[in-house]
């Protein structure tokens, strides 16, 4: 008989925390844009694009892993509304983790400035050719729309991050169940709620 997993796999855990750290890093880089000038702003933008593209690649990998490896069961039963809310938040995060860098890539590809993307100053990252080759008026319109969507997704990210962290802390501190320990392997479940 195969044992039922009650923790996420090591791959899922590594991808979760790596992507989370990269998203927070990119938020902090983005906050520097308004005050930066010249080469400092150029460097911040290049790093922001590099981190964003890394999030995109890792998120596609994470989504593929998630589809091939269903999440572990909950040790404690949860109310149905919490299952539904958790699932909605997680799938919305996948949309954000892929949508944010994609809209950024579209913005760069459509931009009339034609600034190249150098992934971590090492690799030239291509524009999306089907956008970059359009007429300039079309590119400007696409860049404008992508910018609006990109910034909308940023604000959605703020809200979902707050909700996600609050829910994790609620489970750990108030409910004292093993939900957070499913994704935080070095965290011991409270109340002697051991994970097999």
| pLDDT 10s digits, 155-188 | 999 999 999 999 999 988 888 888 888 888 777 7
Per-residue pLDDT reduced to its tens digit, 117-143: 999 999 999 999 999 999 999 999 999
Instruction: Report the 3 state secondary structure along the chain.
Output: CCCCCCCCCHHHHHHHHHHHHHHHHHHHHHCCCCCCCHHHHHHHHHHHHHHHHHHHHHHHHHHHHHHHCCCCCCCCCCCHHHHHHHHHHHHHHHHHHHHHHHHHHHHHHHCCCCCCEEECCCEEECCCHHHHCCCHHHHHHHHHHHHHHHHHHHHHHHHHHHHHHHHHHHHHHHCCCCCHHHCCCCCCCHHHCCCC
pLDDT confidence tier of residue 196, bands split at 50, 70 and 90: very low
Q: In this model, does residue 45 exceed pLDDT 60?
A: yes
To the nearest whole percent, how much of the chain has pLDDT over 90? 67
**Single pTM value for the model:** 0.89
């Amino acid at each position: 008989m195969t044992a039922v997993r009650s923790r996420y796999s090591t791959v899922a855990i590594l991808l979760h925390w790596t992507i989370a750290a990269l998203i927070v890093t990119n938020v902090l880089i983005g906050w520097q844009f308004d005050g930066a000038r010249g080469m400092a702003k150029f460097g911040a933008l290049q790093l922001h694009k590099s981190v964003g593209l890394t999030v995109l690649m890792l998120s596609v990998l994470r989504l593929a892993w998630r589809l091939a490896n269903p999440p572990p069961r909950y040790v404690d039963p949860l109310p149905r509304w919490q299952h539904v809310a958790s699932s909605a938040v997680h799938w919305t995060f996948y949309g954000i983790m892929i949508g944010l860098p994609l809209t950024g890539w579209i913005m760069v590809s459509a931009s009339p400035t034609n600034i190249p993307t150098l992934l971590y100053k090492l690799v030239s990252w291509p524009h999306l050719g089907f956008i970059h080759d359009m007429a300039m008026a079309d590119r400007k319109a696409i860049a404008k729309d992508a910018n609006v969507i990109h910034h909308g997704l940023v604000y959605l990210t703020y809200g979902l991050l707050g909700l996600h962290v609050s829910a994790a802390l609620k489970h750990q501190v108030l409910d004292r169940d093993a939900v957070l320990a499913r994704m935080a392997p070095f965290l011991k479940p409270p109340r002697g709620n051991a994970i097999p």
